[in-house]
Amino acid sequence: MTFLILTRQGYDDLMAQGATLEAIWVNPDVISDDEIEQLRQRGVALAVLPERVDPQAPAEREAAALRLADDGPLWIEYAPPDAAGALADTSQEAPSSRLPRALQQAQESAARLARLAGRRFKRFAASDGAAIVIPYIGYGTTGRLLLRGRVLKDEGFVTPEAGHSGWRNLTELYKRLGSDEVPGARLRARFQGAEQEIVTDDNGYFQAELILSQPVDAGWQQVALELLDPAPAAGQASATAEVLVPPASARFGIISDIDDTVLWSNVTNKMRMLKMLAISNAHTRKPFKGVAAFYRALHAGADGNEANPLFYVSSSPWHLYTPLVDFLRSQNLPIGPLMLKELGVKSLFGAGRHQEHKLASIERIFGTYADLPFVLIGDSGQEDPEIYRELVLRHPQRIKAIYIRNVNPDPERIEAIDRLAEEVRASGAQLVLVPDSEYAATHAAGEGLIAAGAPAEVRADKRGDESATAAAPATAATASTPGA
């Protein structure tokens, strides 16, 4: 694997991952002679470009890549033109303008993540290649189906396997974060006589709402998607979107966060979150202990046959949709629609954007199922308690229970959540701060949300997870997920 590095910031971002590098081509004056020597002593085949390539000039990048592509797969640093201002070097600021040390460190961490989001390593190909349709899991009713997805250039995404190395995971992560969207693409959605043409937006996303002339049965429905324009390079580009229609037997729905709720993500520290994503995949990451059994119990309900629908609302970017679905399937968690966010520096760091996204997504679910109450599950690391409190105020009769996984031991945060629990209790709902899934299951059984014997199954599942963790080889420890 060869990397073409054009800026110092691109070099720093690459080295920060701690990957085993094979070959690097680098712009003149990006790294020092001492650094070059150190890399070569480590066995890296490093070469300096004979002349500087402007990272903001697509023609220069492509020309350089064409000269190097014969050496095998090539990844090239790509800096979008509008990212230049965000990437400005602030290291030469006057001392009087510098922030306090703690805030300065936080700013530096944010700037590094902004560079990872804004400047991407993209696999170079002599042609743009084919476009692919990636449908996301949708939801609906017997008379209306809602679906969305994205059209991307085919980057040759690889399905993760348990034996993949951290470097292979890092490569796949960069491919997904750096995937090229296809704006203005036209598609056709078809389902049992209903048909709709869709056009992707500037970021390659599409949405569709199919109004059905005849009601459909509950369960999973399949909508056919066909790419019309751009014309497929070879044959027909098609895909099938899965759409969930909850059955009449459902007594309530479940809306869950993912990061630090289903699995440990360290979402409060963005750089650590990216590092963890880079070394793990759907098979090596593990859910919190017992969470899979707890979610299966909620899905089954008190009588075991309710088929209560699950919805996952997360601030993870849509780029990680496929790995997250792979994770749910591989860990035997109930499958349901995912509502993720568009990737951007503001959306990654803005708390207000986080709240707006979650509130808007949940309101759409509430609006689709006007007669269905809900159980809400989140964590104490971000704003889930505040977001869910707001939903209780807006819909006091729609919330059966709120479970907040305690991932922040700060006494002030715990006291703040206790105050929120009092506000929620005054409206007739319950907000429960739980240490683990077994505790939550015990409470849910007492409330009649799950079967009386389900907490024992959650406890057994939790112990099984603990035994598996203890038996895991030491070499896999960095790819495993701590539980609670």
Structural domain for 195, as ranges? 131-161+171-245
Query: Are residues 191 and 233 both part of a single domain?
Result: yes
CATH of the domain at 208: 2.60.40.10
| Dist CA 315 CA 343 (whole Å) | 9
CATH of the domain at 380: 3.40.50.1000
Length, in residues, of the chain: 484
How many angstroms separate the CA atoms of 355 and 442, rounded?
29
Number of structural domains in the chain: 3
Same domain, 115 and 196: no
Give the pLDDT score at 327. Answer: 84
* Domain-terminating residue out of 245, 277, 298: 245
Q: Is residue 484 part of a domain?
A: no
Contact 251, 301 (CB under 8 A): yes
In this structure, the answer to whether residues 87 and 218 fall within a common structural domain is: no
Question: 190 and 139 in one domain?
Answer: yes
- The two structure tokens encoding residue 390: 């707001």
The answer to the question of residue 83 being in a domain is yes
Residue 197 lies in a domain: yes
- Single residue among 182, 216, 245 that ends a domain in this structure: 245
- Cβ neighbour number for residue 78 with a 10 Å cutoff: 20
Same domain, 142 and 79: no
Q: Point out the domain boundary residue: 226, 245, 264.
A: 245
Q: Does 275 lie in the same domain as 236?
A: no
User: 267 and 216 in one domain?
Assistant: no
**What is the Rg, in whole angstroms, of the alpha carbon atoms belonging to the chain?**
24
Distance CA 417, CA 379 (A): 11
Q: Give the per-residue SS3 of 387-450.
A: HHHHHHHHCCCCEEEEEEECCCCCHHHHHHHHHHHHHHHHCCCCEEEECCHHHHHHHHHHCCCC
Look at residue 166 and tell me if it is in a domain.
no
Residue 96 resides in a domain: yes
Residues 225, 372, single domain; the answer is no
Residues of the chain with pLDDT under 70: 1, 17-20, 58-59, 62-63, 66-74, 78-129, 155-179, 232-236, 263-286, 343-354, 465-484
Rounded to whole angstroms, the Cα distance separating 240 from 225 reads 6
